[in-house]
Amino acid sequence: AQSVTQPDIHITVSEGASLELRCNYSYGATPYLFWYVQSPGQGLQLLLKYFSGDTLVQGIKGFEAEFKRSQSSFNLRKPSVHWSDAAEYFCAVGAYSGGSNYKLTFGKGTLLTVNP
Amino acid sequence: EAGVTQFPSHSVIEKGQTVTLRCDPISGHDNLYWYRRVMGKEIKFLLHFVKESKQDESGMPNNRFLAERTGGTYSTLKVQPAELEDSGVYFCASSQYRYYMDTEAFFGQGTRLTVV
């Protein structure tokens, strides 16, 4: 079965600093990988996704992520963090199980605090 | 276009009572998913509808949980009777096409359920 590990529960950065959120996955085949963000009072919003092709994917709000198969990682990055980026970030892997049953498996999330 | 809407946004009930959560997916989306996040844990899959049929309910915790999707439109998730461990945030998501990995899943803002 697939699994996702986000080793950092809480990260604090200063506004304008760079950001990297770590994500490691376990899955036996080519994964479908996602990053979602949940701002306070909001639902989960898709930041970016990786299915195949270029291993560096660009997303919304200036985020990018790099898929590294050798490291089973899909880390999220942003060169300069804005105060509005304060939120909780979830990495997820999409996979089939039991034939045609598809679902997302999420990590525990990383809470990002941005200091002024 | 309206997004995925969930009602209520918050619910506080006593142990042993019944609660019904509702999800209105994006119009025309055949796939509807329920996920749950218990405090401190990861977001976990509960079940998946394709139109009005249950495609996968492997994540439903026990028979106190009953999900329905009337006419392939909105869905309800009933918990009867509620227990303390049912507390958490319940998310609904919908996507358009049968093969989920090719399309984005849109999430609602979640229903925060507290059982006291």
Do A43 and B4 lie within an 8 Å CB cutoff?
yes
pLDDT at B1: 65
C-alpha Rg value of chain B to the nearest Å: 13
Average pLDDT, chain B: 92
- Closest-CA distance, B77 to chain A, in angstroms, reads 18
Give the residue on A whose Cα is nearest the Cα of B59.
Answer: A103
Give the residue on A whose Cα is nearest the Cα of B41.
Answer: A108
In chain B, residues with a C-beta closer than 8 Å to the C-beta of A104 are: 33, 35, 43, 45, 105
Do B101 and A32 lie within an 8 Å CB cutoff?
yes
How confident is the model over A55-85, as pLDDT tens digits? 999 999 999 999 999 999 999 999 999 999 9
Question: Which residues sit opposite B53 in a β-bridge?
Answer: B50
Residue B97: C-alpha distances to residues A81, B4, B10, B49 (Å)? 34, 16, 30, 12
Do A106 and B99 lie within an 8 Å CB cutoff?
no
CA-closest candidate to residue A43, choices A112, A90, A83, A95 = A90
Residue partners of A54: CB distance under 8 A and separation at least 6: none
pLDDT at B98: 60
Strands A110-115 and A87-97: antiparallel
pLDDT at A97: 73
pLDDT at B102: 57
Give the residue on A whose Cα is nearest the Cα of B10.
Answer: A41
